[in-house]
């Protein structure tokens, strides 16, 4: 009888021991599962950064639109604001209303900073838009009447650029062809006695029919439905120094979002878009 009682007590002791071990193992497994769950928690979603950029409608805004999906993958929301003039996009960046702009070349930027006291800098060069001479009342450079009228931009650098293009066609001679800010007063030879109508660059396409010739920036020519390669009587060479640049306020050029936009503007996707859609009227630079 005693042996039987002893055997029963031994069995009970072993059962309790196994139960305790099983509970401990279960608790450890639960702890491990909890730890793994905590370790595998998804990362916080990336905060979206908004980048506001001012641009001329054509081709600048069109080119920037190709960068929207590229930047979206990096958590950057590119907001493009279109302007039809050459002043407000710069003052808006200076005042902080826009983070950057894309519409101008370096000679214009340098002149703007000098005359307006702004603090804007080029981030990167993007493309060249060759300036062209277009027909108005006259449809040939060789048969211009004496005293023919020519519309040119009235801002300092684009006017000088237009006069250099006219000089390259043998229509005038300037006192100093290295002076990018030449005006009609700097013409020393004018065999056709050309007269000049100096107006805002954006308005030249609308008055082309009122003058014999119109010298038009390619972005405004494209906006007016002109094809610079096909419609211009003469076109600036592709090695023009007037590269259009991405611009921001001094001190912001290393901003991560602005640098990401600069990189996107040099991407193969954007270069291919420019080549396929502008037929040589806009030329991407490296």
Beta bridge partners, 216, equal 132
Is there a contact between 101 and 179 (Cβ–Cβ < 8 Å)?
A: no
Listing DSSP states for 124-144 in one string gives EEEEE---EEEESS---STTP
Q: Which two tokens stand for residue 239?
A: 């090695």
Each of the 286 residues of the chain gets a pLDDT tens digit; together they read 444 444 444 444 434 443 444 444 444 444 444 454 455 555 555 689 999 999 999 999 999 999 999 999 999 999 999 999 999 999 999 999 999 999 999 999 999 999 999 999 999 999 998 899 999 999 999 999 999 999 999 988 899 999 999 999 999 999 998 888 899 999 999 999 999 999 999 999 999 999 999 999 988 998 899 999 899 999 997 677 889 999 999 999 999 999 999 999 999 999 999 999 998 889 999 8
Which of 185, 186, 224 lies closest to 204, judged by CA? 224
Q: Which domains does the chain have, with CATH numbers?
A: 49-129+242-284 (3.40.190.10), 132-235 (3.40.190.10)
Please identify which residue in the block is written with the tokens 């996107």. 264
Quick check: pTM over 0.75?
no
**Can you tell me the distance from the alpha carbon of 207 to that of 191, in angstroms, rounded to the nearest whole number?**
24
What's the pLDDT score for residue 101? 98
∠ CA 175-116-108, nearest 5°, is 50
Q: Do residues 261 and 71 lie in contact, with contact meaning Cβ atoms separated by under 8 Å?
A: yes
The pLDDT of residue 60 = 97
The reported pLDDT for the residue numbered 280 is 85
Per-residue pLDDT at 40: 54
Angle between helices 88-95 and 106-116 (to 10 degrees): 60
Prior bond of 227 cis (ω within 30°): no
Cis before 59 (ω within 30): yes
* pLDDT at 156 (0 to 100): 82
- pLDDT at residue number 39: 53
């Amino acid at each position: 009888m005693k042996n039987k009682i002893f055997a029963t007590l031994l069995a009970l002791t072993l059962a309790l021991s196994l139960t305790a071990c099983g509970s401990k193992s279960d608790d450890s497994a639960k702890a491990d599962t909890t730890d793994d769950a905590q370790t595998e928690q998804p990362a916080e979603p990336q905060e979206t950064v908004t980048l506001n950029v001012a641009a001329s409608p054509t081709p600048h805004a069109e080119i920037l639109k190709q960068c929207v999906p590229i930047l979206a993958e990096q958590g950057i929301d590119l907001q493009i604001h279109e302007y039809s003039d050459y002043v407000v996009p710069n003052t808006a960046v200076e005042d902080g209303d826009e983070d950057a702009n894309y519409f101008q070349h370096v000679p214009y930027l340098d002149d703007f900073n000098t005359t307006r006291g702004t603090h804007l800098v080029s981030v990167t060069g993007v493309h060249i838009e060759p300036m062209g001479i277009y027909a108005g009342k006259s449809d040939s450079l060789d048969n211009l009447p004496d005293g023919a009228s020519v519309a040119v931009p009235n801002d300092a650098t684009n006017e000088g650029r237009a006069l250099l293009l006219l000089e390259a066609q043998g229509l005038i001679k300037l006192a100093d062809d290295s002076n990018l800010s030449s005006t009609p007063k700097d013409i020393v030879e004018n065999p056709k006695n050309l007269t000049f109508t100096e107006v805002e660059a954006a308005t030249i396409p609308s008055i082309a029919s009122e003058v014999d010739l119109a010298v038009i920036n390619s972005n405004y020519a494209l906006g007016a439905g002109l094809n610079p390669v096909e419609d211009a009587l003469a076109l600036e060479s592709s090695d023009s120094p007037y590269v259009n640049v991405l611009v921001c306020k001094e001190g912001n050029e290393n901003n991560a979002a602005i640098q990401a936009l600069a990189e996107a503007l040099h991407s193969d996707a954007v270069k291919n878009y420019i080549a396929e859609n502008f037929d040589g009227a806009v030329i991407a630079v490296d």
